[in-house]
Amino acid sequence: MKVLIVDDDVVSRMMLMHMIDSTASGVFDVLEAEDGQDAWNQLDGGAEPALVFCDLRMPRVSGMELLARVKADARFAGLPFVLVSSAADGATMEQALGLGAAGYIVKPFDGARVAAHLAPLTRTPDEQPAATLRRLGIDATRLLLYLGGLQRQLVSAGTDLAALLAARQVDAARAQLARLCEGCRTLGLHGAAAGFEALRSAPDDAGLARELEAAHRAVMRQTDATRQLAT
């Protein structure tokens, strides 16, 4: 699995490469690009990274320009793209998220935030519903009730967690994320559980939106599969 690091500063690239290796040694092959144009040439030439970390300010093609180009191309529109900057500029963050960025990391690099973006790529596959039924000792009808309850929790958690983060009540947000993590794990949704667990170390609005959306999709997939067992 490949990760593309785009930065005109070789030291920054080396630091991020070390952090990726420390987080998941041997899992990722790291590709390097010295600016946005170099990165585009690699993508257009057939490179297939699973994730891009891209500096914001670079010569030739900036990170924001590369992000817009990537998201406008059907070949790469689904590629997770994380912008990196030395400045926590709220307007720039909002612009990046509006263009489809998966997140925004401020230098110096925070290992927990880097790990949170890598976590979705290394998750354990979700448990098959039949295995969940055996493990919990319940029938498909009961599992559907549990899944419905979890879906309602996810809906309310979006508003509740956003309010907690806005109020800087990080410990309370982490406690709620832990409950969501345990609920997902109990129902065999290992990917969503891992996402919430990774987010607990450094919760933010972008990560919250990403993990809630992923969890919603996981619940819907599991619900559809369980309904097939119930018929």
Same domain, 21 and 117: yes
Which pLDDT score is estimated for 89? 67
Q: Tell me the pLDDT band of 210, cut-offs 50, 70 and 90.
A: confident
Mean pLDDT, residues 135-163 taken together: 94
Mean pLDDT, residues 108-127 taken together: 79
> How many domains would you assign to the chain?
2
Question: pLDDT tens digits, residue range 73-113?
Answer: 888 888 888 888 877 666 777 777 787 887 788 888 777 77
Same domain, 55 and 105: yes
Q: Which of 105, 122, 139 is the last residue of a domain?
A: 122
Share of the chain above pLDDT 70, in %: 97
- Whether residue 130 is predicted with pLDDT greater than 80 in this model: the reply is yes
Which pLDDT score is estimated for 121? 77
Q: Which of 71, 99, 122 is the last residue of a domain?
A: 122
Same domain, 212 and 157: yes
C-alpha closest to that of 139 among 16, 50, 227, 24: 227
C-alpha closest to that of 155 among 212, 102, 208: 212
**Does 230 or 30 have the greater pLDDT score?**
30
Same domain, 58 and 154: no
Q: Tell me the pLDDT band of 114, cut-offs 50, 70 and 90.
A: confident
- Whether residue 153 is predicted with pLDDT greater than 90 in this model: the reply is yes
Query: Are 83 and 63 a contacting pair, CB within 8 Å?
Result: yes
Which pLDDT score is estimated for 102? 79
Least confident piece of the model among 67-71, 115-119, 121-125, 137-141: 121-125
Domain span including residue 210: 129-230
Tokens coding 127 = 């448990």
Mean pLDDT, residues 117-121 taken together: 78
Output the domain CATH number for residue 111: 3.40.50.2300
- Whether residue 25 is predicted with pLDDT greater than 70 in this model: the reply is no
Which pLDDT score is estimated for 88? 67
C-alpha closest to that of 8 among 60, 50, 46: 60
Same domain, 102 and 175: no
Which pLDDT score is estimated for 24? 66
Same domain, 105 and 158: no
Q: Tell me the pLDDT band of 139, cut-offs 50, 70 and 90.
A: very high
Mean pLDDT, residues 12-30 taken together: 82
Tell the burial category of 174 from Cβ atoms under 10 Å away from its Cβ (0-12, 13-18, 19+).
middle
Taking the C-alpha atoms of residue 213 and residue 231, their distance in angstroms, rounded to an integer, is 28
pTM to 2 decimal places:
0.61
Query: In sequence order, what DSSP letters do the residues of the chain get, joined into one string?
Result: -EEEEE-S-HHHHHHHHHHHHHHSTTT-EEEEESSHHHHHHHHHTT---SEEEEESS-SSS-HHHHHHHHHHSTTTTTS-EEEEESS--HHHHHHHHHHT-SEEEESSPPHHHHHHHHGGGGPPPPPPHHHHHHHHT--HHHHHHHHHHHHHHHHHHHHHHHHHHHTT-HHHHHHHHHHHHHHHHHTT-HHHHHHHHHHHHS--HHHHHHHHHHHHHHHHHHHHHHHHHH-
Same domain, 189 and 102: no
